[in-house]
Amino acid sequence: GYKMRSKLKNDTFLRALLRQPTEYTPVWMMRQAGRYLPEYNQTRGRAGDFLSLCKNPDLATEVTMQPLARFPLDAAILFSDILTIPDAMGLGLYFSTGEGPKFERPLRDEWEIRDLAIPDPNVHLRYVMDAVSQIRKTLNNEVPLIGFAGSPFTLACYMVEGGSSSDFSLVKTMLYQRPDLLHHILDINARAVTSYLNAQIEAGAQAVMIFDSWGGALSHAAYHEFSLPYLEQIVSGLIREHDGATIPNIVFTKGGGLWLESIAAIGCNAVGLDWPIDIGQARARVGDKVALQGNLDPAVLFSNPDAIRTEVGKVLHSYGKGSGHVFNLGHGISQFTKPENAAAMVEAVHELSKPYHE
């Protein structure tokens, strides 16, 4: 069972991840600290750019707290990015406005791949650990803090492509032509992510989530060879208890609905779901193996509070009675969302979910 030593005032999120009883369904939003909030844009302006914001623990703490000041969310998530690891490996991350992330030195030659080294999180990613401990102090045990990292395959997509890609042609060419090279990158990434997440846990993260944003771009066979085994490697290496408390983990493969049973079998506590899948059907498939997190279509938040309430009700109804559901969007909140609509979603989850927990 879930053990808790710290005096967390609201542990609903952690309990739901461990499928223990709760009074209502907890809720948070992927990318809850982001550009849909005017105060976020203001702080990012003060930092200069997104990466400087991530690298400044004071400002990263400030933006982590912003959505919690507006909405009664049940968890906070570290403000950072999944690409901090390849940046720490020396690939030179930068964000050019409107174009998303880019690397100055993407992996193009075999020797660059052979030279890859696992960063020491407490040295090369010190700013992340400092942010984690500062956020924990600022949270003052109100709600738990989620740490996170990217999956080995999703990180490899950016490291090989050099930035965002619509077809993943370079990484898929490597996958089919030089699987040995891709496996080498994935093994380094898996070991780097494990030590990074464990360092976040030691710095104060109370749950961790792995974002496999691009696993769903793979074929069935390729997913089971190039993404899932490395997720499993990480999950088996995670610290499960820290400071007297259980540290649950969540694995989110966007587009992974087809492979739900295999994902649920790697030893994770919870599986994140995107919106195409029906959460009730997902629950029937995984049984009591894992908790589920999701899965409202983020586009629902473009509508109005009445429509949002209806759609929230459908997700809650589909999951049905009992614990093991963490409400979330099926992917990150869009920068074009009105904050009032996010508020309507959070309120609807809290109100409408109570009867499912009686």
Q: Which two tokens stand for residue 237?
A: 């290496």
Residues constituting the chain: 358
Residue 3 C-beta: closest distance to ligand CP3, Å: 26
* Residue 141 to residue 156: CA distance in whole angstroms: 35
Q: Which two tokens stand for residue 272?
A: 């994140």
CB burial of 114-149 (b: ≥16 within 10 Å; e: otherwise) equals: eebebbebeebbbbbbbbbbbbbebbeeebbbbbbb
Of 31, 7, 185, 25, nearest to 108 by C-alpha is: 185
Given the complex with ligand CP3, which of 151 and 233 has the nearer CB atom?
151
Residue 207 C-beta: closest distance to ligand CP3, Å: 13
Kindly give the pairing relationship between strand 207-212 and strand 241-242.
Answer: unpaired
Residue positions annotated with a catalytic role: 31, 35, 44, 81, 158
Residue 224 C-beta: closest distance to ligand CP3, Å: 21
Residue 154 C-beta: closest distance to ligand CP3, Å: 6
Given the complex with ligand CP3, which of 75 and 235 has the nearer CB atom?
75
Strand ranges, E, within 11-80 = 76-77
Residue 50 C-beta: closest distance to ligand CP3, Å: 4
* Residue 338 to residue 87: CA distance in whole angstroms: 32
* Residue 199 to residue 129: CA distance in whole angstroms: 7
Residue 294 C-beta: closest distance to ligand CP3, Å: 13
Burial class (CB in 10 A: 0-12, 13-18, 19+), 170: middle
Given the complex with ligand CP3, which of 30 and 344 has the nearer CB atom?
30
Given the complex with ligand CP3, which of 107 and 352 has the nearer CB atom?
107
Output the residue with the shortest Cβ distance to ligand CP3.
213
* Residue 105 to residue 140: CA distance in whole angstroms: 40
For helices 152-161 and 179-203, give the axis angle rounded to 10 degrees.
120
Given the complex with ligand CP3, which of 259 and 323 has the nearer CB atom?
259
Given the complex with ligand CP3, which of 51 and 307 has the nearer CB atom?
51
Q: Write out the residues near ligand CP3 by the rule CB under 6 A.
A: 30-35, 44, 50, 77, 79, 81-83, 100-101, 148, 164, 211, 213, 254, 332
Q: Find tokens 């030089």 and name the residue.
A: 178
Kindly give the pairing relationship between strand 93-96 and strand 100-103.
Answer: antiparallel
